[in-house]
Amino acid sequence: MAVFLTLGCLLSSGCARYCSNRLHDFCDIFQAGAGITCENPGSGVIPPALGLHVQATEFLNLGAVHFTGSTAEMDGRGFFAGAESRTRLGFGPLQAVRVDQDYDGGHGNYYKTPETLWANRMSSRNMLWGKKPAKSLTYQYWAGNMHMGAPLMHRGWQYWENLNVELALCEPFVTHLGFSLRLGLDPSEISDFIGGIFNIDFKRDDLNAEEYRAKRRPSGAASGSE
């Protein structure tokens, strides 16, 4: 009887949504990604992967890095694999960012899908700080020209405490390949994860019932609508 009751709880929509939100809160603490590229007509004989950028919160950045190629990443709660081009420059709070990820040709989860109900709520008026969304893990806005600011908070203001390093290296003589690696940790998300265990969602980033239903519908993942 205890086993059946436990399974019933886990399969209920409320309990499943709770478990899903706890997993997403935990993922928000971390970032990890790796990419590979090669020489091409755009970059010539030098594979487009070079530089080092270090971030210790949005207010302290140093370095320059560029990568264009294929990437697989865990971007907090956002998972993506596909073509990507990214450039980051930083000196203190001053940053310049361009991130272009191919969401149509690549593969991503709900949080790497543009214009979902959750993404729209994170960018709604009552979630903004200034003009910055609470969380934003799709980067169409940042995909064109370089954007400069101090700070930019291109992932959203709730990730302001992020600690991150991005490294890109190329070897143009023997392998003609380039590689990228990025790792990050966001201490500001630890308390949100712990609070979420007790149903305290002070960041208001948990999926509500409507968003969770849209996430589970294959046909509604892109727009969050019927």
In this predicted structure, the answer to whether residue 93 has a pLDDT above a threshold of 50 is yes
pLDDT per residue as tens digits for the range 171-210: 999 999 999 999 999 999 999 999 999 999 999 999 999 9
- The number of residues making up the chain comes to 226
* pLDDT band of 37, cuts 50, 70, 90: very high
pLDDT score of 39: 96
Q: Is the pLDDT of residue 7 over 90?
A: no
pLDDT in tens, 99-146: 999 999 999 999 999 999 999 999 999 999 999 999 999 999 999 899
Quick one: tokens of 174? 């023997």
Q: What pLDDT is recorded for position 217?
A: 84
> With 90 as the cut, is the pLDDT of residue 218 above it?
no
Tens of pLDDT, residue by residue over 158-180, are 999 999 999 999 999 999 999 99
Residue 195 main-chain phi, psi, to 5 deg: -60, -35
**Which has more pLDDT, 6 or 191?**
191
pLDDT of residue 189: 98
0.75 exceeded by pTM: yes
Q: How far apart are CA 174 and CA 171, in angstroms?
A: 7
Share of the chain above pLDDT 90, in %: 87
Q: How far is CA 4 from CA 13, 16, 106, 146, 170, in A?
A: 16, 15, 40, 55, 55
Letter string b/e over residues 124-145, b meaning 16 or more CB atoms within 10 A of that residue's CB? eeebeeeebbbbbbbbeebbee
Q: What is residue 224's predicted lDDT score, i.e. its pLDDT?
A: 43
Residue spans of the domains in the chain: they are 15-217
Question: Which pLDDT band, with edges at 50, 70 and 90, does 57 fall under?
Answer: very high
pLDDT score recorded for residue 223: 42
> Taking residues 149-157, what's their average pLDDT?
96
**Overall average pLDDT of the 24-28 stretch:** 98
Mean pLDDT of the chain: 92
Question: 223 or 96: whose pLDDT is higher?
Answer: 96
Inform me whether the pLDDT recorded for 6 exceeds 60. Answer: no
Q: Which two tokens stand for residue 76?
A: 């907090």
